[in-house]
């Protein structure tokens, strides 16, 4: 059985990955403040500045696969991922790095494909690009870059915030001209398992196959919930234009049964 180490196993993405992987692989995970659902001997408390501890964990678990779904200080994370790659360079381990639509937040003129060169404006986007590059430079084709849009889950902060706002009849601020795609935590985990099991390589743009403006996405949620709701429509940057914060794919190796639409995401969340 192959061994997988999930860095950040206690987070939204990490938790969904553990659920999807735990019966097929020997799964280990790190956490920072909250324990994961794994047995205690299979999880490790780790802060991104603890590079020696990272080394110890890699030595003791000898993972075939490392999935990074960490958050934390950008500079520390960059050092951490460089150390991770240097420690794996003499092994055959593969790394799956969770990245983001923000690597394209320097160009909102169109949705972006895997083949587009990343261009970021935000510190977050710039850090993610640097981290992608460090891993690729050191580990080459053993690095897989998994770029994802906003992730929703029944137990995600985003979803809880909407439910809370509705309960308390609070105003929800939305962009009326920002086209996005979205994804579910559980669907991301299924897609990633497919990528791992089939040895797919390179960069992946995962996300709903269709795109909606942020306001349309929220309108659909609220109309399905029924009752009255308060959306405040804001323009993203200029009024007259459409902006895209979205990932598009030109890969055809993720099968249709793993694709998802915004409507299916919303139905699942409301189900």
**Could you give the angle at the alpha carbon of 88 between the alpha carbons of 247 and 80, nearest 5°?**
65
186 binds ligand NAP (CB under 6 A): no
- Measured from the CB atom, the residue of 93 and 181 that comes closer to ligand NAP is 181
- Measured from the CB atom, the residue of 10 and 93 that comes closer to ligand NAP is 10
**Beta carbons within 8 Å of 130's beta carbon, 6+ residues apart:** 78
Would you say 151 and 13 are in contact if contact means Cβ atoms under 8 Å apart? yes
| Smallest distance from ligand NAP to CB 112, Å | 14
Binding test (CB under 6 A) with ligand NAP, winner from 4, 5, 8, 111: 8
Contact positions with ligand NAP (CB under 6 A) in 122-181: 148, 150-151
Binding test (CB under 6 A) with ligand NAP, winner from 4, 10, 112, 206: 10
Alpha-carbon gap, residue 124 to 75, rounded angstroms: 10
Q: What's 57's DSSP letter?
A: H
Binding test (CB under 6 A) with ligand NAP, winner from 2, 26, 47, 219: 47
Neighbour count for residue 182 (Cβ, 10 Å): 25
Sequential DSSP letters for 259-271: ---HHHHHHHHH-
The CB-nearest residue to ligand NAP is: 11
Contact positions with ligand NAP (CB under 6 A) in 56-95: 69-72
- Measured from the CB atom, the residue of 161 and 223 that comes closer to ligand NAP is 161
Q: Which of 172, 181, 175 is nearest to 211 (CA)?
A: 181
Alpha-carbon gap, residue 114 to 204, rounded angstroms: 6
**Positions that interact with ligand NAP (CB under 6 A):** 8-14, 31-34, 46-48, 69-72, 98, 100, 148, 150-151
């Amino acid at each position: 059985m192959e061994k997988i180490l999930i860095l950040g196993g206690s987070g939204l993405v990490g938790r969904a990955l553990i659920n999807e992987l735990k019966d097929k692989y020997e799964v280990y995970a790190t956490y920072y403040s909250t324990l994961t659902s794994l047995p205690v001997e299979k999880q490790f408390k780790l802060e991104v500045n603890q590079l020696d501890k990272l080394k110890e964990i890699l030595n003791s678990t000898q993972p075939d696969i490392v999935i990074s779904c960490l958050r934390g200080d950008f500079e520390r994370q960059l050092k951490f991922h460089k150390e991770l790659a240097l420690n794996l360079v003499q092994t055959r381990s593969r790394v799956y790095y969770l990245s983001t639509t923000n690597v394209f937040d320097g160009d909102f003129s169109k949705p972006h494909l895997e083949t587009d060169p990343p261009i970021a404006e935000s510190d977050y986007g710039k850090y993610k690009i640097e981290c992608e590059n460090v891993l690729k430079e050191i580990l080459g084709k053993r690095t897989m870059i998994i770029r994802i849009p906003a992730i929703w889950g029944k137990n995600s902060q985003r979803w809880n915030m909407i439910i809370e706002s509705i309960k308390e009849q609070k105003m929800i601020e939305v962009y009326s001209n920002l086209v996005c795609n979205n994804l579910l935590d559980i669907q991301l985990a299924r897609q990633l398992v497919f990528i791992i099991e089939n040895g797919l390589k390179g960069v992946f743009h995962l996300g709903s196959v269709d795109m909606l403006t942020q306001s349309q996405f929220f309108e659909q949620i609220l109309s399905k919930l029924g009752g009255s709701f308060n959306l405040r429509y804001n323009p993203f940057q200029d009024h007259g234009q459409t902006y895209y914060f979205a990932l598009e794919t030109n890969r055809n190796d993720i099968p249709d049964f793993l694709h998802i639409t915004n409507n299916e995401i919303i139905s699942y969340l409301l189900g």
